[in-house]
Amino acid sequence: MAALIFYAPFVVLCALLLWLLCSVRRRQPGEPPLMNGWIPYLGVALEYGRNPLEFLRSMQRKYGDIFTCKIAGSYFTFVLDPFSYGAVSRQGRNLDFQKFAIGFSHKVFGHADFNDPVYSYNIKDIHSIFRQTLQGPVLQQLISTMMENLQAVMRRDEGHGWTTEGLQVFVERIMFEAGYLTLFGKEEEAEAMATGGATPRWLFMRQAMEDFHAFDKAFPEMAAGLPIHLCGRAFRAREALAEKLHHRHLKRNKCLSALIERRMHAFDQMEQLDEKEKARTHVSMLWASQANTLPATFWSLYYILRCPVALDAAQAEVRRVLGESGHTPGNLEKPVVLSKDQLAGMSVLGSIIEEALRLSSASIMIRVASENFTLTLDTGKTAAIRKGDHIAMFPQMMHMDPEIYEDPTEFQCSRFLDENGQKKTDFYKNGRKLRQFLLPFGSGVSECPGRFFAINEIKQFLTLALCHYDMELHDLAAAPLETDCTRAGLGILPPKHDVSLRYRFRNCVTVKEKTVR
């Protein structure tokens, strides 16, 4: 008896080991090279998570442009050759994006599981709202609202004199508030005050931003599969945001974006949804609209302020565009209004933003195989893919490829300008022109529907920042900031730490009046 008790744990351990060994996947003929890693279940998750770019580069050196890795219980087949991205996109029939994305969103944001067949009819309609409200002529309305909101937020810095603050704090406080108000509208402040008990807007926004950050901070863990209930602070933050985005509040707001208005209407038609779930779907929109935009705006301004050539070129472009539309920089009495076409013509800012995106983007594009099928790569080589496996593309490999981008770690403000100062679109690898060379917004079915708005709002921010503020970065001689690669796979990487900014809101109006007198 005693012996049994002594040996029991050993027997259990052996059985477990045997089970683990038998469940280890073997590479079948026709399949890509397979990396199971040595840790059961996790596979190569730790090596991958430490630095995805380095890990994938070392795998590529050993195994070539396609291989399969076991990561946290799932198998990911990485397709690294950018010429083969199109081949993956063309496999729409065998590769599903929605299922993966919706399942993930359901877990993290806690809204209804739209993969459930009861929603299958509605979900297509809801998805089509993105294109209808974020692209084409309707974009002008969104851009105009954003411009007004940006100026209203910036004006709060009027008369404060020279101030020192983190650049990241500065960018985020302005962009977050303006973006939030642009999507979700605002309560008339005077009206709210009159009815009493309302929080002043700056305080409301500060809380919302803190909650956004607390939630966003836990994103890498949640993406790795940790249930949100185990991330207490993130869970509470998400619920606090949902409370702010409850239909009861949103319905009081003015100037809601068509995106949110249309989504509210659609959710109100779905009787399976309760009010809390509706609010949580709005949290997912808040996250999608801010999580990448904030760091992208940070990097754009950071590189402008560090690079005298970029600063000169950007300032010249801003002066030209404002001049053309009859604005005097800094004249607060006449708000700056720029049309979609004017913004599209700002190719210097465009190139700076694209270069900032190239250097900081680390998104991963994932599809799930809905059947066993054979993927034919650009080279003609084939790879057998099993049902349920993931196909992953990691465009950072391409963005940092020295064959495509000379000195890839260096910021070059006119990298995306051709000899005529227009948007450059020819980039080559192995002497062949690449159809896709910059993919911060993903590609194919999962391409970001907000990409045009995103580029425009960053351009607007930069234009207004250059026109309204004197700005100096602390310690220009320091080495460039590094990106925080623990967030690789989630989109635009934030900096590892902030950098200090000295700034002053310019009061050009008074200066001008003085000179006139």
Ligand X SMILES: *[C@@H]1O[C@H](CO)[C@@H](O)[C@H](O)[C@H]1NC(C)=O
Binding positions for ligand HEM, rule: CB under 6 A: 101, 130, 134, 288-289, 292-293, 296, 363, 365, 440-442, 446, 448-450, 453-454, 491-492
CB neighbour list of residue 309: distance below 8 Å, 6 or more residues apart:
413
Partner from ligand HEM, ligand X, none contacting 386, C-beta within 5 to 8 A by type: ligand X
Angle formed by the axes of helices 451-468 and 347-360, nearest 10°:
110
d(CA 274, CA 110): 12
Helix (H) or strand (E) holding 46: helix 45-50
Residue number with CB closer to ligand X (387 or 497):
387
Amino acid at 399: H
Minimum Å gap between C-beta 419 and ligand X is: 52
Residue 372 binds ligand X (CB under 6 A): yes
Sheet holding 469-473, edge to edge: 163-166, 500-505, 469-473
Minimum Å gap between C-beta 116 and ligand X is: 24
Minimum Å gap between C-beta 386 and ligand X is: 5
Residue number with CB closer to ligand HEM (40 or 103):
103
DSSP string, 372-426: -EEEEPTTS-EEEE-TT-EEEE-THHHHT-TTTSSSTTS--TTTTB-TTSSBP--
CB neighbour list of residue 3: distance below 8 Å, 6 or more residues apart:
none
Minimum Å gap between C-beta 391 and ligand X is: 15
Partner from ligand HEM, ligand X, none contacting 424, C-beta within 5 to 8 A by type: none
Site for ligand X in 99-118 (CB under 6 A): none
Of all residues in the shown chain, the one whose CB is closest to ligand X is: 372
Minimum Å gap between C-beta 73 and ligand X is: 17
CB-based contact 79:85 (threshold 8 Å):
yes
Phi, psi of 87 (to 5 degrees): -60, -35
d(CA 164, CA 157): 12
Residue number with CB closer to ligand X (128 or 372):
372
Please list the alpha-helical segments (H only) found in 135-274. Answer: 139-155, 167-184, 189-195, 201-217, 219-223, 232-244, 247-250, 258-269
Look at strands 34-35 and 66-71 and give their pairing: parallel
Residue number with CB closer to ligand HEM (279 or 492):
492
Partner from ligand HEM, ligand X, none contacting 450, C-beta within 5 to 8 A by type: ligand HEM
Of all residues in the shown chain, the one whose CB is closest to ligand HEM is: 450
Partner from ligand X, ligand HEM, none contacting 471, C-beta within 5 to 8 A by type: none
Partner from ligand X, ligand HEM, none contacting 372, C-beta within 5 to 8 A by type: ligand X
Residue 374 binds ligand X (CB under 6 A): no
Integer CA distances (angstroms), 439 to 357, 374, 375, 396, 494, in order: 9, 25, 21, 8, 17
Size of the site for ligand X (CB under 6 A): 4
Partner from ligand HEM, ligand X, none contacting 288, C-beta within 5 to 8 A by type: ligand HEM
Residue number with CB closer to ligand HEM (63 or 130):
130
d(CA 187, CA 227): 34
d(CA 150, CA 160): 18
CB-based contact 286:216 (threshold 8 Å):
no
d(CA 276, CA 111): 8
Secondary structure class of 114 (helix, strand, coil): coil
253 marked ligand binding residue: no
Partner from ligand X, ligand HEM, none contacting 233, C-beta within 5 to 8 A by type: none
Partner from ligand X, ligand HEM, none contacting 209, C-beta within 5 to 8 A by type: none
Structure tokens at 12: 């259990």
Minimum Å gap between C-beta 254 and ligand HEM is: 19
Site for ligand X in 379-418 (CB under 6 A): 386-387
292 marked ligand binding residue: yes
387 marked ligand binding residue: no
The closest alpha carbon to 348, from 373, 317, 319, belongs to 317
Residue number with CB closer to ligand X (188 or 371):
371
Partner from ligand HEM, ligand X, none contacting 491, C-beta within 5 to 8 A by type: ligand HEM
Minimum Å gap between C-beta 374 and ligand X is: 11
Residue number with CB closer to ligand HEM (286 or 383):
286
Site for ligand X in 22-61 (CB under 6 A): 28
Residue 155 binds ligand X (CB under 6 A): no
Minimum Å gap between C-beta 447 and ligand HEM is: 7
Minimum Å gap between C-beta 363 and ligand HEM is: 4
d(CA 118, CA 401): 45
Residue number with CB closer to ligand HEM (82 or 442):
442
Residues contributing to the site for ligand X (CB under 6 A): 28, 372, 386-387
Q: Annotated binding residues for heme, as ranges?
A: 448
Annotated binding site: 107, 292, 448
